[in-house]
Amino acid sequence: MIERIANASPRRLARIAGVMWLLVIVGGIFAEAAFSSVGEPGDAAATTVRIRDSVTLIRAGLLSYLLAGPPFVLTAIVLYVLLKHVHELAAITMVALNAIGTAIWSLNLLNWYTALTIATGDTYQRSFGTAGADVLTMLYVDMYNTGVSIAFVFDGLWLAPLGYLVIRSGYFPKVLGVALIVGCALYLAGFVFVDLLAPDAAGGIDYLFGAIGGLSELAMVAWLVVKGIRLPARGAAVPATANHLQR
């Protein structure tokens, strides 16, 4: 498979990256919808009851996120193969940040799995009592939400080198690269400076910034899937190291 990716045409590489990225986004949206439909902020008892009533949904969300991890890293690797001619260090940085963020997302799922284990088993209820077990369940749900904010640091950061590569490559509209860099800034502003540094002042602005940042990713995904890449017109100047993209 790796050899096929390395030898694929640029347009095929772009479409492979776009399809995988789209599947990751769909899986992530499903998982987050599943998790958010269960949690009841500030009410540990109600959250525990909802978890017990939604075991299958939560397990499906966990599985969805786990299955999305490898394709997300592979998406970055395919984009690296496509764009490394522009600036190899930037392309390597893009893959590294993507991989770190994916690892954090995957490890963060342990918090939801632990919350599910506590809520559906009787071991912790016998040890801490019903109220104590409920609070412990809520604690792990809250830890998951904090972990999401930390993961978004790298989910946002990987878009910056990607945006730079998109702008410099000449194979995509520059506005897509600018949008990715803006999306990076909004992810960081919403989920780091608001969620972590001033949570009481969030007022939903973190989700607004996240939604706008997500639109930049969707725009890039749509272009990759529908258009692939935009080859320069015949006779137009191209980067000296990009001649392989003309095939």
- Taking 90 as the threshold, does the pLDDT of residue 167 lie above it? yes
- Per the structure, the count of domains in the chain is 1
Whether residue 159 contacts residue 218, with contact meaning beta carbons closer than 8 Å, is answered with no
**What is the domain extent for residue 115?**
2-151+219-231
Helix (H, G, I), strand (E, B) or coil at 121: coil
- Domain contains 169: no
- Domain contains 124: yes
Q: 60-63 long-range CB contacts below 8 Å, 24 or more apart?
A: 60/30, 60/34, 61/30, 61/31, 61/32, 61/33, 61/34, 61/35, 61/112, 62/31, 62/109, 62/112, 62/113, 62/116
Q: Percent of the chain at pLDDT above 90?
A: 52
| ∠ Cα 37 43 49 (to 5°) | 60
- Taking 80 as the threshold, does the pLDDT of residue 24 lie above it? yes
**Per-residue pLDDT, 186:** 85
Mean pLDDT, range 167-192, rounded to an integer = 88
pLDDT band at residue 136 using 50, 70 and 90 as cut-offs: very high
Mean pLDDT, range 234-238, rounded to an integer = 47
pLDDT band at residue 39 using 50, 70 and 90 as cut-offs: confident
- Domain contains 198: no
**Per-residue pLDDT, 42:** 74
pTM (2 d.p.): 0.84
- Taking 50 as the threshold, does the pLDDT of residue 237 lie above it? no
- Domain contains 204: no
- Domain contains 210: no
Whether residue 191 contacts residue 149, with contact meaning beta carbons closer than 8 Å, is answered with yes
- Domain contains 10: yes
- Domain contains 240: no
pLDDT band at residue 239 using 50, 70 and 90 as cut-offs: very low
pLDDT band at residue 4 using 50, 70 and 90 as cut-offs: low
- Taking 70 as the threshold, does the pLDDT of residue 25 lie above it? yes
CA distances from 223 to 76, 162, 166, 216 (A): 16, 14, 12, 11
Q: 92-98 long-range CB contacts below 8 Å, 24 or more apart?
A: 93/161, 94/158, 94/161, 94/162, 94/165, 97/154, 97/157, 97/158, 97/161, 98/72, 98/73, 98/154, 98/158
More confident residue, 30 or 43: 30
- Domain contains 12: yes
**Per-residue pLDDT, 156:** 87
**What tens digit of pLDDT does each residue of 60-99 get?**
999 999 999 999 999 999 999 999 999 999 999 999 999 9
